[in-house]
Amino acid sequence: MALDDSQRKTMLAAIIDSSEDAIISKDLNGIITSWNKSAERIFGYREEEVIGEHISILIPPDRLGEEDMIISNLRAGRRIDHFETIRHTKSGRQLQVSLTVSPIRDANGNVVGASKIARDITSQKEAEELIRKYVKQLEVLNDTGKTIGAHLDVDTILQKVTDATTRLSGAAFGAFFYNTTDANGEAYMLYALSGAPKEAFEKFGMPRNTDVFKITFSGDGSFRSDDITKDPRYGKNAPHKGMPKGHLPVVSYLAVPVISQSGVVIGGLFFGHPQPAMFKEEHEQLVIGISAQAAMALDNARLYQEIQALNARKDEFIGFASHELKTPLTTIAGYLQLAETTPQRANDFLPRISKQVTRLTAIISDLLDISKIQAGKMELNFAKTSLHALIKENVETVRQLSGRAIEYVLPHEDVAVVIDGQKMGQVLINVLTNATKYSDAGARIIISAVRMGDEIQITVQDEGVGIPPQHLDKIFTQFYRVTKPGKSSTEGLGLGLYISREITEAHGGRIWADSEEGKGTTVHIHFPIEIIRKK
């Protein structure tokens, strides 16, 4: 059925009105001549408001020049396709639009106006922007992951992580703080800073152990606040009651703990912004993601550092060991030579040779112990043993070897302990020998033992050189020796206390030292009368 003219017009009008896009026509002077339903919906003007108005009511002032360009293209009979620009609505809201403008010709083919299809692409543009943002974030994430994974150096890792998270969260500044407080247990240790010079913080001292920081360092998950100054936990601590005067302004606040695989809170990443509500869920999630990567990288870096330190000590140990093994051998060789040249005095040398053999045997037995401990093969033979006998026998051994007097204080009543007597004896010999080695010949050495409930507590006290506090824990690790610069070091491999700790712990006990430099050292050995062993 052929349509007549008026039917065709009605149908065309219906099609135009049902379009999703704004369809507008205008004459060559830019005066609007038609306006469909979607134009009404998109731009907010009703048809009767705009017909006869100039198209420039839709154009932001800084883009008015575009209309001249469009009109001159139309006059030349050229169509404009998908021109992306900005227009505004009646209420002044800006819209991203894509314009297609085609010339309208009269029956003679002259251009008399233009039809304009405007598509609102605001949400499409927003989506594109969002994707761009995510791609950028992914790039930073990927980049950060790669860099921190490739580094075994803690400083580099922490700086990269702080920089990346500060960037991704849009923070004005960010910092990584170690979960270690200073000697007063107050201020946390600043490690890396991004977006602000270190001096900006240092003059105020480090963040203190306040309720706000506690959330992060106790590993209670991340904490985000639109305005930290309004948080009930904020500003409770003297002397500043909040941020000190002149502190970089923090309103928006985000803090994420960095937790190692073993569950220890290594530290925290902290972000600030002077404006409120700057950090969103997505920022928090990103930082959480990176902080997990950072924790792994830090774990690796720590292991690597430990291995390096151990390696260095092993190298040093090889030097010590060769020296230690060689000294008694050289002495023995010397005496043997003397014995050969003066056979009548050979008997005089025997005790000296024998002493060196004892020393060699002790060194070799330490080395064997170490390899057993490291292979997890240290065997203990538990048996009922007299505490009195244990102490007296081993004191006697050390007395004979060192020629030093050793005082002892024992419980009145002997105690039967279930231990590996030979191994525990070795602990006493090691600790007593150290007391003789690291003190002057005339100084007192006292060993005392008491029973406290089900525990035996032994202390070995000397009046020797003492141990600087920073070494106190370390002397119980393998190959560790406190070397005093300038002093010829006493013989030793740095194994005795390590072996002693292994043995004591295998008995369910503990060993540690107190010391005062120049005054003396006390080594404490505590162990149960009978260890409850797992079958």
- The site for ligand ADP (CB under 6 A) is made up of 430, 434-435, 438, 462, 464-467, 475, 480-482, 492-498, 521
What is the nearest approach in angstroms of ligand ADP to the Cβ of residue 357? 18
Indicate the pairing of strand 445-452 with strand 407-409. parallel
Two tokens at 472? 């106190």
Two tokens at 253? 């606040």
- What are residue 87's DSSP bridge partners? 95
Alpha carbon distances (Å) from 58 to 21, 67, 89, 170, 186:
15, 11, 6, 34, 62
Non-local (6+) Cβ contacts of 151 within 8 A are: 157, 160, 297, 301
**Residue 266 in contact with residue 154, Cβ under 8 Å?**
no
Nearer to ligand ADP (CB atom), residue 207 or residue 496? 496
Two tokens at 62? 């800084």
Task: Give the Cα separation of 74 and 101 in Å (integer).
Answer: 8
Nearer to ligand ADP (CB atom), residue 280 or residue 313? 313
Nearer to ligand ADP (CB atom), residue 22 or residue 398? 398
**Residue 455 in contact with residue 526, Cβ under 8 Å?**
yes
Query: How many CB atoms neighbour CB 144 within 10 A?
Result: 23
Nearer to ligand ADP (CB atom), residue 166 or residue 426? 426
Nearer to ligand ADP (CB atom), residue 293 or residue 478? 478
Two tokens at 50? 């705009």
What is the nearest approach in angstroms of ligand ADP to the Cβ of residue 229? 52
* Burial environment of residue 311 by CB neighbours within 10 A (0 to 12, 13 to 18, 19 or more): exposed
What is the nearest approach in angstroms of ligand ADP to the Cβ of residue 363? 9
Nearer to ligand ADP (CB atom), residue 249 or residue 468? 468
Secondary structure of residue 63 in the 3-state scheme: helix
Nearer to ligand ADP (CB atom), residue 45 or residue 480? 480
Nearer to ligand ADP (CB atom), residue 44 or residue 492? 492
Name the residue with tokens 């005066």: 31
Q: Is the dihedral of CA 234, 238, 241, 246 positive or negative?
A: negative
Nearer to ligand ADP (CB atom), residue 50 or residue 495? 495
What is the nearest approach in angstroms of ligand ADP to the Cβ of residue 528? 24
Task: Give the Cα separation of 68 and 77 in Å (integer).
Answer: 14
What is the nearest approach in angstroms of ligand ADP to the Cβ of residue 450? 20
Name the residue with tokens 């020796």: 481
Nearer to ligand ADP (CB atom), residue 120 or residue 369? 369
What letter does residue 521 receive in the DSSP assignment? E
Nearer to ligand ADP (CB atom), residue 143 or residue 407? 407
Buried b or exposed e, range 79-89, using 16+ CB within 10 angstroms:
ebeeeeeebbe
Radius of gyration, CA atoms only, the chain:
42
What's 235-262 look like in SS3? CCCCCCCCCCCCCCCCCEEEEEEEECCC
Two tokens at 87? 């227009």
What is the nearest approach in angstroms of ligand ADP to the Cβ of residue 435? 5
What is the nearest approach in angstroms of ligand ADP to the Cβ of residue 401? 14
What is the nearest approach in angstroms of ligand ADP to the Cβ of residue 444? 13
Task: Give the Cα separation of 458 and 409 in Å (integer).
Answer: 10
What is the nearest approach in angstroms of ligand ADP to the Cβ of residue 371? 16
Quick check: bond before 239 cis, omega within 30? yes
The closest alpha carbon to 391, from 451, 473, 331, 335, belongs to 451
Q: Which residue is nearest to ligand ADP (CB)?
A: 492
What is the nearest approach in angstroms of ligand ADP to the Cβ of residue 498? 6
What is the nearest approach in angstroms of ligand ADP to the Cβ of residue 372? 17
Nearer to ligand ADP (CB atom), residue 42 or residue 513? 513
What is the nearest approach in angstroms of ligand ADP to the Cβ of residue 340? 33
Nearer to ligand ADP (CB atom), residue 217 or residue 438? 438
Alpha carbon distances (Å) from 75 to 69, 103, 297:
10, 8, 66
Task: Give the Cα separation of 328 and 278 in Å (integer).
Answer: 72
What is the nearest approach in angstroms of ligand ADP to the Cβ of residue 270? 40
